[in-house]
Copies of this chain bind each other. A is one copy, B any other.
Amino acid sequence: MRLKFLWPGKTRSPEIKGLQEFYASRIGALAPVEIVETREARGIDERQAGRIKELEAGGLEKHLEGVYIICLTDEGATMTSREFSDFLRGRADGAGKPLAFVVGGFLGLADRILERADLRLSLSRMTFSHELSRVVLLEQVYRALTIIRGRHYAK
């Protein structure tokens, strides 16, 4: 099961960046993984939310061909960690398209990205900062892989 993680812009918080690398490396020991930090809209007034999301959608779209697209959004389905690992196991057994997890920038994802999603996933009913979402997602994918492999991973 090949895994891709896509989001606009580099992670700015050094601590979150460190955690991102930590979980990516743990995932990498269990499955091929790639993190792609796509083009970020910068220097645009935040009130132009549509324009920002549109620009960032352009960067994300370059990486969405031939992959199973999982968009993170507050309006997505919530799952337990066990349900999420069952879902991943099901995809691994399937046609074998790589999975691409797509996390929006601080304004979220453009509608035209959300519309391409094969699955819309919510990490929580609560809204997390977009950088924290990256880490929580990576931790859940790592947890799911350890559940699939039957490894021990502490709560």
Chain A interface residues (CB < 8 Å from chain B): 13-16, 18-19, 22, 78-81, 84, 106-108, 123-130, 132, 135-136, 139-140, 143, 154-155
7 interchain residue pairs of minimum CB distance = A124-B124, A15-B18, A15-B15, A106-B154, A81-B127, A15-B19, A81-B126
Minimum CB–CB distance from A151 to chain B (whole Å) comes to 14
Partner of A129, one of B14, B106, B155: B155
Give A14 Cβ to nearest chain B Cβ, in Å: 8
Given the known interface contacts A15-B19, A22-B15, the answer about A140 and B155 at a Cβ–Cβ threshold of 8 Å is: no
> Given A107-B155, A130-B155, are A125 and B80 also a contact pair (CB < 8 Å)?
yes
Residues from chain B with a CB closer than 8 A to the CB of A18 are 14-15
CA distance A98 to B132 in the complex (A): 27
Alpha-carbon separation in the docked complex, A129 to B136 (Å): 10
Q: How far, in whole Å, are A81 and B129 apart by their CA atoms in the complex?
A: 11
A16-B15, A107-B155, A155-B106 known; A129 vs B123 contact (CB < 8 Å): no
Q: What chain B residues lie within 8 Å of A129 (beta carbons)?
A: 139, 143, 154-155
